[in-house]
Amino acid sequence: MLKYLDNFGRYCLLVIRSFSKSPKASIMRELIVRELDNLGIGSLYIVSIISFFMGAVAAIQLAANIDSPLIPMSTVGYGTRETIILEFSPTVIALILAGKVGSNIASEIGTMRVTEQIDALEIMGVNSANYLIFPKIIASLIINPILTVISMILGIYGGYLACTTTGLIDGTTYLYGATMDFKTFHFIYALIKSAVFAFVIASVSAFRGYYVEGGSQEVGKASTKAVVNSSISILLWNFILTRLLLL
């Protein structure tokens, strides 16, 4: 228990340090743009593929489970949209990014630690936590909600294509359901979740990498821990935010 509290304390202190004493604005801007490219553009392909097929499968499963003639087939579009917006896009995509981006952040920072690059920054008088972690957090906070919106669009479109190409329901019925009774707050709730998850992924993974001790084997272990810790934190925050925002 004490070990967990110690880790949590060190994590909080690291996050505070990463938000203090920035280098020149021009350098920070450059770092954020580089991270946007690394973390965001690099994840676009996997997010697109997963979202498209997730939407397609969700639509087919919904259509396959509607037996009663009393339930209109437009429910498929409605149900697909709601599951995609409320859960699939913000949470599942965050879990996937925890694996892809989280391990990338932990191994990058961890390697810098074991090869003394972080020590070199500190000796120069650079706040290494700010220089390395802050741009990753900001880039994640910007790019994750954008990826989530792209995922929503592709997921709903995937459902549409799955329904129309397999002949389960016609496109007009699907689109009628997908646009029916739209609650803007559900969309905002998804964006809030994706921003919180972005912060969790970047900060937890950076924490795991920053405190690596040893060699390449420890960097590998830190990378695994980053994915596991980020994923658990995402699930926990998912529950807390859903309870706070939807009920």
Binding interface with other proteins (CB under 8 A): 23-24, 27, 111-112, 115-117, 119-120, 122-126
In the complex with other proteins, which residue's Cβ is closer, 112 or 156? 112
- Are the C-beta atoms of residues 65 and 83 closer than 8 Å to each other? no
Q: Cβ 92 to other proteins, closest distance in Å?
A: 31
In the complex with other proteins, which residue's Cβ is closer, 16 or 123? 123
Cα 174 to Cα 152: distance, rounded to the nearest angstrom:
15
For 41, which DSSP code? I
Cα 56 to Cα 155: distance, rounded to the nearest angstrom:
7
For 224, the token pair is 């695994």
In the complex with other proteins, which residue's Cβ is closer, 6 or 116? 116
Q: Cβ 110 to other proteins, closest distance in Å?
A: 13
For 57, the token pair is 């499968």
DSSP string, 78-117: HHHHHHIIIIIIIIIHHHHHIIIIIHHHHHHHHHHHHTTH
Q: Cβ 134 to other proteins, closest distance in Å?
A: 15
Q: Cβ 31 to other proteins, closest distance in Å?
A: 11
Q: Cβ 119 to other proteins, closest distance in Å?
A: 6
In the complex with other proteins, which residue's Cβ is closer, 132 or 138? 132
In the complex with other proteins, which residue's Cβ is closer, 89 or 128? 128
- Are the C-beta atoms of residues 167 and 64 closer than 8 Å to each other? no
